[in-house]
C-alpha cells in the first residue's frame, strides 16, 4: 500500500470544508471535545446540540472557546438541525430511537458515530478492535501498553482527535461498545484483528432482545476477511460457538486448554499454541494481577505480542508494567485490618458474580444495588446466597428492589440495610466490618440517578473510605 493509499483519509477529509455537521450530544466528560476540534480543524461548520443546559456543559464549552464555526443549541434539540444538515454525528450515549434521528433518516441525512468515521478514514486492517460485555477496557489498555500502540475509544477520549498524527504503518487498539459497533454494522465493517472478551446480558433496556444485543456484538467479527484474525474468550460458550461460523482466522484465549490454537493457562503457566509451535511465555505468578478474570484479560495482549515476534523477556517486562484500571477490583485501602475494594465498574450481575468468585475465601460486607437495565438477577442471587456475606448494604435505585426480591427468592437471609448515599454506605460498612474482612463495592447495577456514572460512584466510594482514615 503506497503513501497515498495509507492516507486516503487526508484526501477525504479535505471535503469537510464547508460541510454542515450536527454533533448530537456533547457530554459532560469531554469525550466529544476532541472530535469537535478535529472536525473544525478540517473546515466543517458545526451545530453542537445537547439536551443538557449551558450551565451543565460549561466546562466543555469553555475548552472550545468562542469558535465562530460552532453554533450551540443547548437545553433542547431543533428539528431543522437534523433535516437541514449534511451529516449527523451522534454521541454513543444517544438513543438510536431518538425521534430527531428518525427525522434525519427520513430526509436521507447520513448518521455516523466517531467509530464509523474512524474506520472510514483509517486502514481498518491496522485496527485491533476490542468488545465484550465486561473486560474490554482492561483488555484494551493491556494491548495498548504491551504492544505500545495508541489506545482509542476509552472513556474520555476522542477517536478522531489523533487521526492526523498516526503513521503509515501504525497500529491502534480501539475499544468498541455495542453502541459504537452499530454504525459499523450498517457499513459492514470489522477490524483486521478482533478481540471479544465476553457476552453477558447487558443493556437490554436499549435493545429489542438478547439476540439483537448478541448480534450487535458480533459485528466486530462478522465482516472480517479470510486473512483477518478473531481472538475469542473460549471460556465463554457463546464465543466458542461463534468460532464455527467465522470466515477469518480464529484464535482462543482461556484459563484452560481447549485444544485449539491460541493462549491458555496450564500448570500455572501462560502457554501459547500456534500452528505447530507450543511454548511457555511466562508464569502466572509473574502477572501483575491476582484474580482469574483479570489474568484472562491480559492474555490477548500476550498472544498478540508473541505473534508479532516480541521476545518472551520483553513481553514479561511489559506485562509486569501494565497499569491496572481503576474501579475494577481496585484495592483502595486497608484500615484497621479491613480491606476496601472498589469494583464500581461491575454494572451488571455477571460482573458481580466474578467479584464474589475472586473473593470466595473472604468474609464480605457487600455494598450493592442501583438502577436497572432490564437485567435478570437469578444467577447472581444464587451466587450471593453461597458467598461468605456478613452484611449487604443497598444503594438507592429500582435495581436494588429487584435484586433484594431475587435474593430472598433464592433463600437469602443475610443482614440487609438500605442507605441514602455512598457516604452512609461506607460508614455503615466500616461499623460492621472486623479485622480480616473485606468491604466490597460491586453493585451489579447501573449508577444512573444517584451518580453521574460508574466512575463517579467509584470515586465517591474511594473518597468516603479515605475519609475514614482522615487521608
pLDDT tens profile 326-378 = 999 999 999 999 999 999 999 999 999 999 999 999 999 999 999 988 889 99
Answer yes or no: do 153 and 27 share one domain: no
Whole-angstrom distance, CA of residue 335 vs CA of residue 404: 29
Identify whether residues 303 and 335 lie together within a single domain. Answer: no
Q: Are the C-beta atoms of 412 and 387 separated by less than 8 Å?
A: no
CA nearest neighbour of 61 among 78, 43, 77, 75: 75
Instruction: Tell me: do 310 and 359 sit in the same domain.
Output: no
Question: Do 197 and 286 reside in the same domain of the chain?
Answer: yes
Instruction: Let me know if residue 377 belongs to a domain.
Output: yes
In a domain, 288, yes or no: yes
Among 48, 82, 112, residue at a domain's last position: 112
d(CA 264, CA 87): 45
Tell me which residue range forms the domain holding 240: 116-320
d(CA 315, CA 279): 14
Residues 348 and 375 in one domain: yes
Q: Are residue 104 and residue 121 in the same domain, yes or no?
A: no
Is residue 325 one of the residues assigned to a domain?
A: no
pLDDT digits (tens, 9 = 90+) for 126-181: 999 999 999 999 999 999 999 999 999 887 678 998 888 898 789 999 999 999 99
> Which helix H or strand E contains 251, and what residues bound it?
strand 249-253
Does residue 447 carry a pLDDT above 50?
yes
In the chain, how many domains are there? Answer: 3
pLDDT at 298: 98
As a whole number, mean pLDDT of residues 257-285 equals 97
What is the rounded distance in angstroms from the CA atom of residue 406 to the CA atom of residue 197? 27
Q: Given pLDDT bands bounded at 50, 70 and 90, which one contains residue 107?
A: very high
pLDDT over threshold 70, residue 14: no
* pLDDT of the residue at 13: 54
The C-alpha atoms of residue 252 and residue 250 are separated, in whole angstroms, by 7
Whole-number pLDDT of residue 2 = 44
Is the pLDDT at 397 greater than 90? The verdict is: yes
Q: Does residue 168 share a domain with residue 284?
A: yes
Q: Does one domain contain both 275 and 404? A: no
What local confidence, expressed as pLDDT, does residue 26 receive?
87
Cell of 119: 474506520
User: Per residue in 40-68, pLDDT tens?
Assistant: 999 999 999 999 998 888 888 888 877 89
Boundary (domain end) residue, out of 59, 81, 112: 112
**Among residues 112, 133, 159, which one ends one of the domains?**
112
- Can you name the residues that pair with 366 across neighbouring β-strands? 392, 440
Amino acid at each position: 500500500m503506497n503513501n497515498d493509499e495509507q492516507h486516503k483519509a487526508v484526501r477525504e477529509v479535505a471535503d469537510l470544508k464547508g460541510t454542515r455537521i450536527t454533533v448530537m450530544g456533547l457530554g459532560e466528560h469531554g469525550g466529544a471535545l476532541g472530535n469537535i476540534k478535529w472536525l473544525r480543524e478540517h473546515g466543517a461548520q458545526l451545530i453542537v446540540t445537547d439536551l443538557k443546559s449551558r450551565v451543565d456543559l460549561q466546562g466543555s464549552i469553555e475548552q472550545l472557546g468562542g469558535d465562530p464555526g460552532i453554533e450551540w443549541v443547548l437545553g433542547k434539540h431543533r428539528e431543522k438541525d437534523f433535516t437541514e444538515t449534511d451529516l449527523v454525528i451522534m454521541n454513543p450515549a444517544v438513543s438510536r430511537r431518538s425521534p430527531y434521528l428518525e427525522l434525519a433518516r427520513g430526509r436521507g441525512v447520513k448518521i455516523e458515530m466517531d467509530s464509523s468515521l474512524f474506520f472510514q478514514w483509517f486502514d481498518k486492517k491496522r485496527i485491533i478492535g476490542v468488545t465484550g460485555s465486561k473486560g474490554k477496557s482492561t483488555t484494551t489498555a493491556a494491548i495498548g501498553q504491551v504492544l505500545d500502540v495508541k489506545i482509542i475509544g476509552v472513556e474520555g477520549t476522542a477517536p478522531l482527535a489523533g487521526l492526523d498524527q498516526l503513521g503509515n504503518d501504525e497500529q491502534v487498539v480501539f475499544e468498541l461498545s455495542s453502541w459504537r459497533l452499530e454504525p459499523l454494522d450498517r457499513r459492514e465493517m470489522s477490524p483486521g484483528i478482533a478481540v471479544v472478551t465476553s457476552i453477558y446480558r447487558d443493556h437490554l433496556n436499549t435493545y429489542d432482545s438478547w439476540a439483537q444485543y448478541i448480534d450487535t456484538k458480533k459485528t466486530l467479527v462478522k465482516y472480517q476477511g479470510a486473512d483477518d484474525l478473531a481472538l475469542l474468550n473460549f471460556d465463554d460458550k457463546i464465543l466458542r460457538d461463534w468460532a464455527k461460523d467465522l470466515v477469518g482466522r480464529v484464535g482462543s484465549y482461556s484459563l484452560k486448554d481447549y485444544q485449539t490454537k491460541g493462549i491458555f493457562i496450564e500448570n500455572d503457566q501462560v502457554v501459547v499454541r500456534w500452528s505447530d509451535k507450543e511454548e511457555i511465555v511466562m508464569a502466572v505468578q509473574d502477572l501483575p494481577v491476582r484474580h482469574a478474570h483479570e489474568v484472562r484479560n491480559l492474555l490477548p495482549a500476550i498472544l498478540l505480542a508473541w505473534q508479532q515476534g516480541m521476545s518472551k523477556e520483553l513481553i514479561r517486562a511489559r506485562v509486569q508494567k501494565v497499569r491496572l484500571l481503576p474501579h475494577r477490583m481496585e484495592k483502595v485501602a486497608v484500615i484497621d485490618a479491613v480491606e476496601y475494594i472498589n469494583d464500581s465498574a461491575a454494572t451488571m450481575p455477571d460482573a458481580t458474580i466474578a467479584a464474589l468468585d475472586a473473593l470466595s475465601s473472604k468474609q464480605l460486607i457487600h455494598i450493592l444495588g442501583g438502577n436497572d437495565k432490564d437485567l435478570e438477577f437469578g444467577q447472581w442471587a444464587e451466587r450471593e446466597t453461597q458467598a461468605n456475606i456478613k452484611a449487604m448494604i443497598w444503594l438507592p435505585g429500582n435495581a436494588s428492589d429487584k435484586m433484594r426480591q431475587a435474593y430472598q427468592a433464592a433463600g437469602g437471609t443475610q443482614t440487609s440495610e438500605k442507605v441514602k448515599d455512598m457516604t452512609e454506605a461506607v460508614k455503615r460498612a466500616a461499623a460492621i466490618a472486623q479485622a480480616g474482612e473485606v468491604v466490597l463495592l460491586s453493585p451489579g447495577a447501573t449508577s444512573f440517578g444517584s451518580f453521574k456514572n460508574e466512575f463517579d460512584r467509584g470515586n465517591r466510594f474511594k473518597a468516603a473510605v479515605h475519609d475514614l482514615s482522615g487521608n
